[in-house]
């Protein structure tokens, strides 16, 4: 690994969040040295990892993209390779691609208060090495990159065809003319099914229970009109604000008027499928809209494929795999040459890094989140975690700006250490991720928790996040700053 061994900031992950963090850091704090450590051998994170047919954004790129580099493409909902190209181009334009170190798997990080430094253990090409830094920023997302969630199905060893998880999609998979069963009903499944149906003999989406699905246009007509009429910066700003408002409005309206939104979603689906289609069986979940994330299908491609008969939906539970397919609890048999298990992600907090502070291991379930960006009693550590009800990167962007402000404040005041201290140890706590998806609920016990008082809640309200993260750094007294005077000690400084 290249030197220097000490940097002011280490960013973990070269995905859309990590590249955004690097760009903002290089612009806001150009005097700071930094590196982006990426475990894989390519930039892009999720958008380089997932290679299954049809992979795309389920949020418009006007809000998923960076505020400092607006998206001006014709399509708002874009395919995965376009998102990846956008990330790569941004990294190159801001010069941060030169500071990415590939093949660097961070395994542990230890904080030393006496020196105000993180010592970070990194595996590179099978060899162990260490780096030190003043700040550690985790932009590694919240799921495992090496494999997805793969439940065991009764009799799956008997199946004579291929079983594939989308996270490990083979480049050379030939599904032309074959019978394909996709197990799942989430964003990955509704993306895969119409894409596979273009070449497969027939595709069946097998779901245990339905998911709310809404058709959205690929193009943003208003954005494209504004781009023609107004200067680019102004058009992009209006479009971004419009889309943020729309996302927040839809979520809040669904929360306050769930039955009305249910009726609308059902009506919308019914208008895109044949009159005799079993809407209530296959597209009417038993939970309220936005208790889980809505699945968006651009230009109704799933419904068009269903109407043509290229694919079908079956709602039932699996009794067992067979040699040539799947037997369902209801008695139906689904023939398959290929079974795709779109069964979700396996969550992993902060890339699985083992954190220690002054020799004591950080037990994540005992930590609280502060402003959705830091952990209680873990100095000079920040993380990026987006909201589920808007484009994930919207909150990530304001967190990055906030952390840059904190670091700048420390530099101006001569501080070396910053930690968030829980002002009320008796405050009630709840899971960090307040989200009903099964893949989230399986792993909540491994993540930090959120509190019940201001600034310690993991808000899902972007407007509130913007207010909190733009507020005075020392306003609530939760951040404690210290100045290290020697390797042997430190002088506490009140916030």
What is residue 146's predicted lDDT score, i.e. its pLDDT?
A: 83
Rounded to an integer, what distance in angstroms lies between the CA atom of residue 451 and that of residue 458? Answer: 8
Predicted pLDDT at 444: 78
Length of the chain: 495
- Quote the CA–CA distance of 369 and 395 in Å, as a whole number: 14
> pLDDT averaged over the chain?
92
C-beta of residue 458 within 8 angstroms of C-beta of residue 383: no
Res 326 pLDDT > 70? yes
Q: What is the pLDDT of residues 72-124, one digit of tens each?
A: 999 999 999 999 999 999 999 999 999 999 999 999 999 999 999 999 999 99
pLDDT at 345 exceeding the cut of 90: no
Q: How far apart are CA 270 and CA 260, in angstroms?
A: 15
* pLDDT value at residue 4: 47
134 pLDDT band (50/70/90 cuts)?
very high
Residues 6+ apart with CB under 8 A from 85: none
Output phi, psi for 80, to 5 deg: -50, -45
* 315-341 mean pLDDT: 97
pLDDT band at 495 (very low <50, low <70, confident <90, very high): very low
Comparison of pLDDT for 340 and 291, the residue scoring more: 340
Percent of the chain at pLDDT exceeding 70: 96
| pLDDT at position 126 over 50 | yes
Neighbours of 324 (CB within 10 A): 15
Residue 487 has pLDDT above 50, yes or no: no
CA–CA separation, 296 vs 75, rounded Å?
15
> Is the pLDDT confidence value at 2 over 70?
no
Model pLDDT, residue 350: 92
Q: What percent of the chain has a predicted confidence (pLDDT) above 90?
A: 82
Tell whether the torsion through CA atoms of 380, 383, 449 and 472 is positive or negative. positive
Looking at the predicted structure, is the pLDDT value of residue 485 above 90?
no
pLDDT per position as a tens digit, 172-215? 999 999 999 999 999 999 999 999 999 999 999 999 999 999 99
Mean pLDDT of the region 135-140: 96
Structure confidence at residue 437 (pLDDT): 65
Strand partners, 117: 112
Burial of 335 (0-12, 13-18, 19+ CB in 10 A): middle
H/E segment holding residue 137: strand 127-138
Mean pLDDT is lowest, of 246-260, 315-329, 478-492, for: 478-492
Alpha-carbon radius of gyration of the chain: 24
* CA distance readout (Å), 283 to 204, 211, 265, 294, 330: 15, 6, 9, 12, 19
pLDDT at 436: 59
Which pLDDT tens digit goes with each residue over 236-246? 999 999 999 99
Write out pLDDT tens, residues 24-33.
999 999 999 9
- The pTM assigned to this predicted structure is 0.92
What is the pLDDT at residue 494? Answer: 35
Please give the pLDDT value at position 150. Answer: 87
């Amino acid at each position: 690994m290249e030197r220097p061994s000490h940097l002011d900031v280490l960013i973990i992950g070269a995905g859309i969040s990590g590249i955004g963090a690097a760009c903002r850091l290089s612009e806001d704090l150009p005097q700071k040295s930094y590196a982006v450590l990426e475990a894989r051998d390519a930039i892009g994170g999720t958008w380089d990892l997932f290679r299954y047919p049809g992979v795309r954004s389920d949020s418009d790129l006007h809000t998923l993209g960076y505020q400092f580099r607006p998206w001006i493409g014709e399509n708002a909902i874009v395919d995965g390779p376009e998102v990846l190209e956008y990330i790569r181009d941004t990294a190159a334009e801001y010069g941060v691609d030169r500071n990415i170190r590939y093949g660097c798997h961070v395994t542990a990080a230890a904080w030393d208060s006496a020196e105000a430094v993180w010592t970070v253990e990194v595996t590179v090409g099978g060899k162990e090495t260490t780096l030190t830094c003043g700040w550690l920023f985790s932009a590694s997302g919240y799921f495992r990159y090496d494999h997805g969630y793969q439940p065991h199905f009764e009799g799956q060893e008997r199946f004579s065809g291929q079983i594939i998880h989308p996270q490990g999609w083979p480049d050379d998979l030939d599904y032309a003319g074959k019978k394909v069963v996709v197990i799942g009903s989430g964003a990955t499944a509704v993306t895969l099914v119409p894409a596979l149906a273009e070449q497969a003999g027939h595709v069946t989406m097998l779901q245990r229970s339905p998911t709310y699905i809404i058709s959205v246009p690929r193009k943003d007509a208003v954005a494209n009109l504004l781009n023609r009429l107004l200067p680019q910066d102004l058009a992009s700003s209006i479009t971004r604000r419009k889309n943020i408002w729309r996302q927040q409005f839809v979520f809040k309206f669904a929360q306050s008027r769930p039955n009305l939104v249910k009726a609308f979603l059902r009506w919308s689906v019914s208008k895109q499928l044949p009159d005799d289609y079993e809407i209530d069986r296959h597209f009417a979940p038993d939970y309220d809209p936005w208790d889980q994330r809505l699945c968006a299908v651009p230009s109704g491609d799933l419904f068009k494929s269903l109407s043509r008969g290229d694919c079908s939906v079956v709602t039932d539970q699996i009794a067992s795999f067979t040699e040539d397919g799947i037997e369902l609890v209801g008695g139906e048999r689904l023939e398959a040459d290929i079974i795709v298990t779109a069964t979700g992600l396996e969550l992993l907090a902060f890339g699985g890094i083992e954190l220690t502070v002054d020799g004591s291991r950080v037990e994540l379930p005992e930590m609280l989140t502060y402003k959705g960006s830091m952990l209680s009693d873990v100095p000079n550590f920040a993380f990026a975690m987006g909201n589920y009800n808007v484009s994930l990167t919207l909150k990530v962007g304001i967190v990055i700006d906030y952390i840059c402000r904190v670091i700048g404040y420390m530099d101006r005041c001569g501080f070396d250490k910053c930690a968030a201290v829980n002002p009320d140890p008796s405050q009630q706590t709840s899971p960090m991720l307040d989200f009903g998806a099964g893949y989230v609920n399986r792993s909540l016990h491994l993540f930090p928790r959120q509190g019940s008082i201001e600034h310690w809640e993991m808000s899902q309200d972007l407007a509130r996040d913007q207010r909190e993260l733009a507020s005075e750094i020392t306003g609530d007294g939760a951040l404690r700053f210290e100045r290290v005077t020697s390797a042997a000690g430190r002088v506490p400084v009140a916030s």
